């Protein structure tokens, strides 16, 4: 028996225009944070930079702090990782290079600006802290695995992480000179030599 019912419309693909609009809004928000900090822009500025109507911003993020928090999380997602190749020095150097490149990007500058402003904005302080903690955890796990394998003596992996990443943040934040692979290698070598010397 023939089916005379009209064909069903094709199912809408997930994402599509709505996803693209959200991405433009989040990217615009992160850029404005990088330029002006938390307090230096409003919904109208986000809408204008994103090329959307202001109601699109209000409808999705009626709370401005929630918009900033989501923009920061979305913009830094997947930007920095650390490999485990079995060569600890190489893995740490590569991580620092990736960290420096990340911080030098528009997304990274937004995060640095957010970190400066976080103390004045408790609502987004948790987001900023979570992002930095996520990066810290990556290095801590790699250092802990190096201790288990005997690549390093027992050591406080949190302290090692701060000793490695702190100079990278300073180089990028102060912009006195570029953060290059040579600088990443120097930092890594000093930290690793200090760990091994104090354990000997």
Question: Of 30, 52, 75, which closes a domain?
Answer: 75
Residues 38 and 87 in one domain: no
Closest-CA residue to 77 (of 141, 20, 131): 131
Residues 125 and 100 in one domain: yes
Residues 100 and 169 in one domain: yes
Q: Is 163 exposed, middle or buried (0-12, 13-18, 19+ CB in 10 A)?
A: middle
Residues 134 and 155 in one domain: yes
Contact 108, 172 (CB under 8 A): yes
pLDDT in tens, 97-128: 988 888 887 777 777 777 777 667 777 788 88
Contact 53, 25 (CB under 8 A): no
pLDDT in tens, 146-189: 999 999 999 999 999 999 998 988 887 777 778 899 999 999 99
- Report whether pLDDT(75) > 50: yes
What is the reported pLDDT for 113? Answer: 75
- Report whether pLDDT(196) > 70: yes
For the entire predicted model, the pTM comes to: 0.71
The CATH number that applies at residue 27 is 1.10.10.60
What is the reported pLDDT for 13? Answer: 38
Task: Tell me the pLDDT band of 79, cut-offs 50, 70 and 90.
Answer: low
Q: Is 4 left (phi over 0), alpha (psi -120 to 50) or beta?
A: alpha
Q: In whole numbers, what is the pLDDT of the chain averaged over residues? A: 83
What is the reported pLDDT for 3? Answer: 43
- What mean pLDDT is predicted for residues 87-95? 95
Residues 140 and 58 in one domain: no
- Residue 150's φ and ψ, nearest 5 degrees, are 90, 10
Residues 96 and 191 in one domain: yes
Contact 80, 102 (CB under 8 A): yes
């Amino acid at each position: 028996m023939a089916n005379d019912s009209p064909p069903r419309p094709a199912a809408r693909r997930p994402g599509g225009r709505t996803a693209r609009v959200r991405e433009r809004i989040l990217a615009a928000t992160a850029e404005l944070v990088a330029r002006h900090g938390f307090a230096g822009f409003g919904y109208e500025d986000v809408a204008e930079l994103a090329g959307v109507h202001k109601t699109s911003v209000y409808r999705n993020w009626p709370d401005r702090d929630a918009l900033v928090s989501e923009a920061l999380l979305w913009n830094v997602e997947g930007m920095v990782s650390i490999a485990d190749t079995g060569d600890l020095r190489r893995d740490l150097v590569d991580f620092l290079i990736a960290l420096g490149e990340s911080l030098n990007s528009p997304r990274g500058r937004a995060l640095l600006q957010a970190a400066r402003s976080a103390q004045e904005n408790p609502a987004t302080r948790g987001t900023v802290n979570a992002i930095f903690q996520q990066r810290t955890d990556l290095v801590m796990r790699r250092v802990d695995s190096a201790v288990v394998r005997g690549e390093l003596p027992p050591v406080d992996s949190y302290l090692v992480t701060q000793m490695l990443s702190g100079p990278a943040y300073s180089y990028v934040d102060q912009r006195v000179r570029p953060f290059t692979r040579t600088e990443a290698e120097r930092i890594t070598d000093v930290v690793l030599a200090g760990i091994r010397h104090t354990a000997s």
